[in-house]
Amino acid sequence: MLYHSSPAAVVDGTLYTLLGFSVVTWTLIIYKTWQFWKNSSWNKRFDSAFWNANSLSEAEAFPDSSFKGPQARIAKKGLAWLTESRLPSSKSLKYRGTTSDLLEHALLTQMQQEERSMESGLTILASIGSTAPFVGLFGTVLGIMHAMHEITASGSTSLDVVAGPIGDALVATAIGIAVAVPAVLAYNFFLRRVKVQRSALENFVVSFMHAALSSDPH
C-alpha cells in the first residue's frame, strides 16, 4: 500500500517523474524550435529559386540539394507526378480522372505528410502540460498523508513536527506547475507555427497547380 510505503520514496518517485517530464519537454522544445527554423529557412530559399525559374522543366532540373524543406518536397512530388502522367503507364487506374484533381490529390497527400511531421511531439507537450500538475499534486497528497501519520504516531503537534514533512510534500506541487508551464506555452507557440506554415504550404499548392496546369497540355 502507498500509505505504508516510505514517505521519501513516494516524494522522490514523484520528483523523478516530473524530472523526466521536464527533460522530455525541453528536448522537444529545442528540437521543434530547430525544426521550424530549418523549415522556414529552406522554404524561403526554395520559394525564391522555384518561382524565378523560367519553366517547370527548369525547376525539375534543380539539383537534389535544392529540394529540401516542406515546399521543396511538395514541389518534387508534383513534378514527379507530372512526369509519370505523361508515360505510357499513365493509362492505369492510378491516373484515371482529371489532371487537376489527380495533381491536387498528389500535392495534398505530400502536404499532409509534412503537417504530420510538424505536429509530431505536440501531443506529448500537451499531455505533459495537462498532467504534470496532477502528478505533483499526487505526490503532495501522499506526502501529507504520511506527515499526518507521523504526527499521529508521535503524538506531538508542534510546528517542528508538522512543518517539515508538509513543506517537503508541497514542493512536489510547485515542481509540477513549474514543469507544466513551459510545456503549455511551447505547445501553444508551436501550434501557432504549424498553422502559419500550413497556410504557406496551402498557398504554395494552389500556386503550383496554376503554374503546372497553365503549362500542361492535358
In a domain, 200, yes or no: yes
In a domain, 1, yes or no: no
In a domain, 121, yes or no: yes
For the beta carbon of residue 92, count every other beta carbon within 10 angstroms.
9
pLDDT at 183: 96
In a domain, 2, yes or no: no
Name 136's Cβ contacts closer than 8 Å, sequence gap at least 6: 14, 18, 172, 173, 174, 175, 176, 177, 179
pLDDT at 155: 64
In a domain, 43, yes or no: yes
Euclidean distance between CA atoms 81 and 180, whole angstroms: 45
pLDDT at 190: 96
In a domain, 142, yes or no: yes
Residues of the chain with pLDDT under 50: 1-3, 217-218
pLDDT at 218: 45
Closest CA to 173 of 131, 140, 128: 140
- Specify the DSSP element, H or E, that contains 80: helix 70-85
In a domain, 59, yes or no: yes
CA distances from 160 to 142, 164, 171, 198 (A): 19, 6, 17, 58
pLDDT at 3: 47
Euclidean distance between CA atoms 50 and 206, whole angstroms: 14
pLDDT at 1: 46
In a domain, 129, yes or no: yes
Determine the structural domain holding residue 162 and report its residue range. Answer: 7-215
Euclidean distance between CA atoms 172 and 212, whole angstroms: 59
Backbone phi and psi for residue 62, each to the nearest 5 degrees, phi listed first: -60, 145
pLDDT at 89: 61
pLDDT at 56: 85
Q: Which pTM was predicted?
A: 0.81
163 is written with which cell numbers? 512543518
174 is written with which cell numbers? 510547485
Q: Provide the domain count of the chain.
A: 1
